[in-house]
Amino acid sequence: MNLDLVSSSRCFDGTQRVYSHKSETLKCDMRFAVYLPPAAVTHSVPAVFWLSGLTCTEQNFITKAGAQRAASALGIAIIAPDTSPRGADVPNDDAYDFGQGAGFYVDATQEPWSKNYRMYSYIVDELRELVASQFAVDAKRFGISGHSMGGHGALTIGLRNPSLFRTISAFSPISAPTQCPWGEKALTGYLGDDRAQWAKFDATQLFAEKGWSGPEILVDQGEADEFLESQLKPDLLVEAAARGDVELRLRRRAGYDHSYFFISTFIASHLEHHARHLLA
């Protein structure tokens, strides 16, 4: 795999890097960020994949979340990909919640999106295998987390691939995309009108279908989040987890909104959650 180094910075005795590569899955150039803790110099370390939300790139998390300090101390790597395919030849939409910047971590089946918009397979197969082969990370100790659209991606990818991702957490996830405006728009556009095809990209439905035998799933939700009732619907996630007998810990955070100020406040506890199980 041909990787091009975009940037590299020393950070808490580890290294924060950004790479670009030609993605065979997405048929375009993609960027992803890798934070390697100092422990990676001497041995392979666990890694947490972070999936960002609508309009974001790999830059939002690595510059705003302040995750590197905790990752360095815990001895875990963080992999942060872009949120969608990009480029002049990649289809786009004028709206912020569809097209480039809004890949929704699905594999599109509808034209003109199906050629490029395959973020689910990109994360699960191509990027995961690339990271495992190119960096000092232990492919048997991967976790996954994310925010908003990326929280939806972390939940659905983790639930569908328990042998690949041993731990799951999320911030403010789109809990039931089949039941909110963001999700209905994206799933219709990328997958068509057949709602049976949507189910595999909805965490509330996957709880019942797939279950989860791994460690408890950790979710943080700000109670001052402007999208709480209209788009995120965490109560549906709690109800679905109970029906599917899935161990879910939802922490409701008074006064916190949907921003990276919220994420930066609690990201260390999420990384500790992953490390506790991945390093056991």
Q: What tens digit of pLDDT does each residue of 99-135 get? A: 999 999 999 999 999 999 999 999 999 999 999 999 9
Q: What tens digit of pLDDT does each residue of 232-249 get? A: 999 999 999 999 999 999
Query: Which one is catalytic: 147, 152, 258, 270?
Result: 258
Closest-CA residue to 32 (of 94, 86, 96, 92): 86
Q: How confident is the model at residue 280, as a pLDDT?
A: 87
Q: End-to-end alpha-carbon separation of the chain, Å?
A: 31
Q: Which amino acid is at 7?
A: S
Edge-first strand listing for the sheet containing 77-81: 3-11, 14-23, 28-36, 77-81, 45-51, 137-146, 167-171, 217-222, 248-253
Query: Which one is catalytic: 23, 148, 169, 172?
Result: 148
**Sequence ranges of the domains in the chain:** 4-279
C-alpha dihedral sign at 250, 274, 279, 131: positive
Count of residues in the chain:
280
* 258 assigned to active site: yes
Q: Which amino acid is at 244?
A: G
Q: Give the pTM.
A: 0.98
Distances (CA, A) of 263 to 16, 25, 98, 173: 19, 30, 23, 12
- CATH classification (class only), 4-279: alpha beta
Query: Which one is catalytic: 147, 152, 225, 273?
Result: 225
Are 81 and 58 within 8 A, CB to CB? yes
